[in-house]
Amino acid sequence: MRMNIARLSRRALVCAVAAGAVLAARPAGATVSVCIDSSNPAHAMDRRVVQAVAHQQGTDAAIYTFDGSGAGDDDGFDVRKFSTLAASRCALVLGFPVDATHGAVPEGMRATAPYARMGFVLVTPRGHEAETLAALPSGTDVAVTYLTAPNLYFVKHPNVHADIYPTDAQTIASVVHRTDRAAMVWRASAVAYLPGGEKARDYCMHALSEPHADWDVVALYGPQGAAAAASFQKSIAALRRSGQLAALLRPYAMSPANPIVLAAAEAPAAAPATPAAGGAKPALFTAAQADAGKKAYADNCAQCHGDNLEGMAGPALKGKNFASPKANFHVGDVFTIVSQNMPATQPASLPHDVYVNIMAFLLQQNGMPAGSAELTFDGAKSSTVPLVYSGD
């Protein structure tokens, strides 16, 4: 597997877009008070949406921008700060993506019903069209951005090889400059960075039909934002009925999300903390592997992910938000990311047994039992065992 990846700054890379520090306090009495991430390639779309919502409500929009990229901050942005931001800075945080299959949001936050559908796309130069990964010739190098969902797809599609880049802009540039024949990237990034955007005549863009490729876009809010969230949803529903919403979302979103049920916005239903009854967790690793993995994790991972896997510059690797039943992740999914993308500065550079031991430690810390049979590299990579956290 060929890697072209620069030394990365220590920051959180959460899905495709996330949040950061808001720059100004929310004025009292603002009817439509929102925060928009200026580093989100679809920030112009969110600005149009909130302005249309404000117009529909007969008021003005108070828009505050923040940089959610973590640029200039060694530790990036801790998503646990969302609740503090929502309580003190704005009623709604627009543009947050949630996996369409499970809809997890940061702890302590609630989400409106989705107002747009986004996702990952396959980009190829015109003349080398391919609508799916399976349609690409054997041996094709496909550019992909570090720590994004498409890193999972190479296991299922051995005809293609990963060429990993630190940013979406560099991933797209690899196709523009013909370094790679194809790229898998967030749709809004393709629109933002391809010459000509969505109407680029020299490129084709097709939605990927793969696990965790489809995402819904929601507005986040805290307990104090429930009324604003309900008003936002009603306005979005009115914009959908009038046909305005689809125009506001182009070209970044694939389509408006499913129609919103006109009710007070609520938090997604809580997922059970443990797997359904009748399924004892299998023992995939030994205690000795987990012990060795604890040291290997401390040496190679703790700086970014925290001493206790709680997350710092990188996301948390333990807990119900990391491994929920609704997320539908399996051991092989997580191991593929770990072994291909880690450590951040030198992906895939550790010996196979070190990656296996680190994975054993992650499984142990998420409530999986140790056994007498050792976990192997190939076994971890191909495992379809669900990874579901069980603990406090």
> What whole-number distance in Å separates Cα of residue 187 and Cα of residue 114?
17
| Of 229, 232, 165, 219, nearest in space to 19 by CA | 219
Q: Are strands 92-99 and 116-125 parallel, antiparallel or unpaired?
A: unpaired
pTM of the model: 0.70
**pLDDT at res. 276:** 40
Residues 183 and 242 in one domain: no
Task: Decide if 389 is inside a domain.
Answer: no
d(CA 229, CA 219): 8
Q: CA 245 to CA 237: how far, in whole Å?
A: 9
387 found inside a domain: no
Which CATH number belongs to the domain containing residue 155 in this structure? 3.40.190.10
Shared domain for 113 and 30, answered yes or no, is yes
The reply to whether 112 and 134 lie within a common domain is no
The answer to whether the CB of 150 falls within 8 A of the CB of 131 is: no
Structural domains of the chain, count: 3
Identify whether 259 is part of a domain. Answer: no
Rounded distance, CA 361 to CA 366, Å?
9
pLDDT of residue 19: 31
**Contact (CB, 8 A) for 163 and 136:** no
CB 145 within 8 A of CB 123: no
H or E stretch including 36? strand 32-37
Over its length of 392 residues, how does the chain's per-residue pLDDT go in tens digits?
333 323 233 233 333 333 333 333 334 445 789 989 888 999 999 999 999 999 999 999 989 888 877 655 544 455 656 666 666 678 899 999 988 876 677 777 889 999 999 999 999 998 877 899 999 999 999 999 987 888 888 878 889 998 989 899 999 999 999 999 999 999 999 999 998 766 678 898 899 998 889 899 999 998 888 999 999 999 999 999 999 999 999 999 876 655 433 333 333 433 333 344 345 789 999 999 999 999 999 998 887 788 888 876 667 788 877 787 766 788 988 898 888 878 866 778 899 999 999 999 999 999 999 999 999 999 998 898 998 888 76
Show Cβ contacts of residue 134 under 8 Å, excluding neighbours closer than 6 positions.
157, 159
- Residue 276 belongs to a domain: no
Query: Does residue 76 lie in a domain region?
Result: yes
Residues 134 and 110 in one domain: no
- The pLDDT assigned to 28 comes to 40
Same domain flag for 43 and 102: yes
Whole-angstrom distance, CA of residue 84 vs CA of residue 109: 10
Single out the residue in 249, 274, 303 at which a domain terminates: 249
- pLDDT for residue 392: 66
Residues 199 and 340 in one domain: no
Q: Is residue 14 part of a domain?
A: no
Residues 227 and 202 in one domain: no
Both 105 and 241 in one domain: the answer is yes
Asked if residue 262 is part of any domain, the answer here is no
Asked if residue 136 belongs to a domain, the reply is yes
Q: Which domain holds residue 343?
A: 285-382
Q: In this structure, are 191 and 202 located in the same domain?
A: yes
Q: Which residues 6+ apart lie within 8 Å of 16 measured at CB? A: 97, 118, 148, 168, 186, 188, 189, 215
